[in-house]
Structure 1
Amino acid sequence: MADAVAAPRPAHPVPRRRLGRELSSSAVALGCMGMSEFYGPADRTESIRTVQAAVDAGVTLFDTADVYGPFTNERLLGEALRGRRDQVLISTKAGQLRSADDPGYRGLDGSPGHIHRACDASLERLGVDVIDLYLLHRVDRKVPVEETVGAMADLVAAGKVRAIGLSEVRAATLRRAAAVHPVAVVQSEYSLWSRDVEDELLPALREVDAGLIGYAPLGRGFLTGRLDVARLADDDYRRGLPRLRPGNIDRNEELLLSFVRLARAWDMAPAQLALAWVLARGPNVVALTGTTRRSHLTQNLAAASIPLTPEQLTELDVLFPPGAAAGDRYANRTTIDG
């Protein structure tokens, strides 16, 4: 029975953030992608226990996508949340194409027919009657976003989805989508070394009354100060990220060294400081962490209750101004809107 013990609750309840007009979430959410692939070998049993411990600790938002696995991550999350459905929000995504026998991506499909079929399949894999937050994983440039969002609005009207969102979109695309149906959130990468959303997207989110779910708030693990690229598994996709490749990583490690020193001077773990910075960016910002083990949960959740002073925020802005990180976020930007 010892294995069933949940992670201890943080010293303070996890604060909540409003997402759009009807949803509210814990300030720190749990992304489940790495529980099935991308970050080397996955431990399914530990992943399920981590999800359950996160619920016990106060996390209310859990994020997945149909193609993670491929097509196995939703089943894992549904199993982990069985019996806890009324305590959580489930977010999943559609629009990217993969095959169960071929892990490579095969493009995008934002057509209404695909969105409807994908939603029905996700509901079955998750084992739920309604998806709380349904996101377009990437914009399909072959289909006007208004058509895709119209199909997602149909799902809301049918009672299959509570609220809709988008992922990795420009401010102009968000405004077009919001003119068709209220958009609750945009999910985009956001951290001290990925600040692309600040100039245009964050103001647009406030304009349309939507939230931001910032994924990779720890810089793919780099900002924890514990990531050793040389020891990553052969199938860990971070090996191919430009920022972790020779020519860029030396510059980024210089930034990291200064960041770790600041965290220690302020009596925080680097991961906590990175998360606290993201959460300080606005009351509509949620940090989506990719923790796959219970041992990291309590530390990450404690970051939601760490207030940063204006002086600390200024010091971090000086250390990590927009564009400070060397290298692009992705090796291939073709599926990022704009």
Structure 2
Amino acid sequence: MMPTRALGDLEVSALGMGAMTLTQVPGVDSVRGIRAVHAAVDAGITLFDTADSYGPSGEMGVNERALVEALRRHPSALDRVVIATKGGHTRGPAATWWVDGSPGHLAAAARASAQRLGLDALPLYQHHRPDVKVPFAESMGAMRQLVDEGIVVRVGVSNVDAAQLDTAIRVVGDALVSVQNEYSLLERSSDPVLQLCEAHGLAFLAWGPFGGMRAAKGLGTSSSSVALVAERHGVSPQQVVLAWLLRRSPVLIPIPGASRPESVRDSAAALGLVLDDDDLRLLDAVAAPAVSAQ
């Protein structure tokens, strides 16, 4: 049985699946992506994270459509899982990313996502990224309005600092259930946000748990501590990192991206990895690499 963690009034799997890589990476294999989603469902994963902006530049909703189509092809999957999507990013030509946190955009984006996903209301709708052109409280007011109108059931925020999270807590109220920020062995700048999540009973969804798509493959060589712990237990470096994250906080839910079923199954195996005190001391002491001055 997959352990669970709280997402507001829901219990979801302690490990989620980030769907971005199903459509974002070059040379996408859609058949393999469907197999990856099915492997996640079979492993007991019940939280799937997507966004309207994930996919080729200039086209919205690509990733949402790919994810929900894969779930529809698995018997009863849609009855067992929670699809979390995000709005507030837009895509331009040449792979550019823009931000639009205006109430009008968020309202239209939420309705479009619900339609693409075939849902009467979005189980978890996340504000993708603060927009410097729009007061954050105004964006949060729009998210609260979506709840009041029945378009959204629960609200999440993403890529926020502690002050922005305080604003979200004040404006959105009890409909706010989660934060999604980057967090990994080498990226812990969101520790103050994680502590706020613990204090307020919010789930912390950790994106980029391996340090990013490029870093994931090199975990065993970039950190001798990770390699040592992996060798001790006879597991992959990725499992070590996920097990460390799961021990980091009871509200933290890693959402590693995957486009291969083998990767999904390896990640799910991290739930059975028990790190001892020596392992944790080694991993806690890992420091981010120094950035040279430019």
Give the structure-1-normalised TM-score: 0.79
Q: Match for residue 45 of structure 1? A: 31
How do 1:110-149 and structure 2 match up within 5 A? Answer: 110-149=101-140
**TM-superposed deviation, 1:223:** 5.9
Q: Does residue 1:281 correspond to 2:248, yes or no?
A: yes
Structure 1 residue 211, shift from structure 2 partner: 1.1
Which residue identity does 1:217 align to in structure 2? P
Is the 1:223–1:271 Cα contact (8 Å) retained in structure 2? no
Query: Do 1:66 and 1:93's aligned partners in 2 also have CA atoms closer than 8 Å?
Result: yes
Superposed counterparts of 1:51-66, under 5 Å: 51-66=37-52
Query: Quick one: distance in 2 between partners of 1:152 and 1:271?
Result: 35
Q: 1:15 aligns with which of 3, 28, 31?
A: 3
Secondary structure of the residue aligned to 1:66 is: coil
Find the partner of 2:200 among 205, 208, 231.
208
1:197 and 2:183 matched: no
The amino acid that maps onto 1:29 is G
Instruction: Tell me by how many angstroms 1:189 deviates.
Output: 1.1
Secondary structure of 1:214's aligned partner? strand
- Cα distance in 2 for partners of 1:34, 1:289 equals 10
- The percentage of aligned residue pairs carrying the same residue is 39
Rounded Cα–Cα distance in structure 1 between residues aligned with 2:145 and 2:159: 22
Contact 1:223/1:256 (<8 A) preserved = no
Structure with the larger RCO, 1 or 2 (CA within 8 Å, 6+ apart)? 1
Is it true that 1:92 corresponds to 2:85 in the alignment? Answer: yes
Query: How many Å apart are 1:259 and its aligned residue?
Result: 2.2
SS at match of 1:62: strand
Partner of 1:271: 238
Aligned to 1:29: 16
Match of 2:229 among 262, 268, 285: 262
1:162 and 2:153 matched: yes
Q: Give the AA of the match of 2:115.
A: E
- Which AA in structure 2 matches 1:184? V
Letter in 2 for 1:124: Q
Distance 2:26 2:230 in 1: 28
- Partner SS for 2:177: strand
Structure 2 residue aligned with 1:303: 270
Shift of 1:306: 1.8
Alignment gaps of 5+ in structure 1: 1-12, 228-251, 329-338
Question: Structure 1 residues 79 and 254, CA, compared in 2 at 3 Å: closer, same or farther?
Answer: closer
Unaligned runs of 5+ residues in structure 2 are none
Whichever residue aligns with residue 290 of structure 2, its letter is A
- 1:66-105 correspondence to structure 2 within 5 Å: 66-69=52-55, 70-71=59-60, 72-82=62-72, 83-99=76-92, 103-105=95-97
Match of 1:173 in 2: 164
Q: Distance in 2 between matches of 1:304 and 1:155?
A: 35
> In the aligned structure 2, how far is the partner of 1:125 from the partner of 1:51?
18
Distance 1:254 1:59, change over 3 A: closer
CA 1:313–1:94 in structure 2 vs 1: closer, same or farther (change >3 Å)? same
Q: Secondary structure at the match of 2:26?
A: coil
Q: How many Å separate the matches in 1 of 2:279 and 2:213?
A: 22
Partner SS state of residue 79, structure 2: helix
**Greater CA drift, 140-149 or 56-65:** 140-149
1:264 match: secondary structure:
helix
Q: In the aligned structure 2, how far is the partner of 1:196 from the partner of 1:120?
A: 33
* Rounded Cα–Cα distance in structure 2 between residues aligned with 1:94 and 1:75: 15
Larger proportion of helix: 2
1:261 Cα deviation after fit: 2.5
TM-score by length of 2: 0.90
* Residue 283 of structure 1, CA deviation: 1.1
CA contact (8 A) 1:34 1:290 kept: yes
Q: 1:223 to 1:295 in 2, by over 3 A?
A: same
Give the count of matched residue pairs. 283
**What SS does structure 2 have at the residue aligned with 1:187?**
strand
Partner SS for 2:275: coil
**What SS class does the counterpart of residue 105 from structure 2 fall into?**
helix
Letter aligned with residue 41 of structure 2: V
> Which amino acid is 2:28 matched to?
A
Measure, in 2, the Cα distance between the counterparts of 1:267 and 1:86. Answer: 36
The CA RMSD measured in Å over matched residues stands at 2.0
When residues 203 and 193 of structure 1 are mapped into structure 2, their CA distance, relative to the original with a 3 A threshold, is same
Pick from 277, 284, 290 the counterpart of residue 257 of structure 2: 290
Structure 1 residue 148: Cα displacement = 1.1
Amino acid paired to 1:159: G
What is the CA deviation profile of residues 260-314 of structure 1, one whole-angstrom value per residue up to 9, with x for unaligned ones? 1331023221111010001111111101011111112222101022222233211
Aligned to 1:193, the other structure's residue is in SS state coil
Q: Is the 8 A contact 1:132 1:163 kept in 2?
A: yes
Cα 1:304/1:327, change in 2 over 3 Å:
farther
Instruction: Give 1:233's aligned residue.
Output: none
Shift of 1:127: 2.0
Question: Is residue 279 of structure 2 the alignment partner of residue 312 of structure 1?
Answer: yes
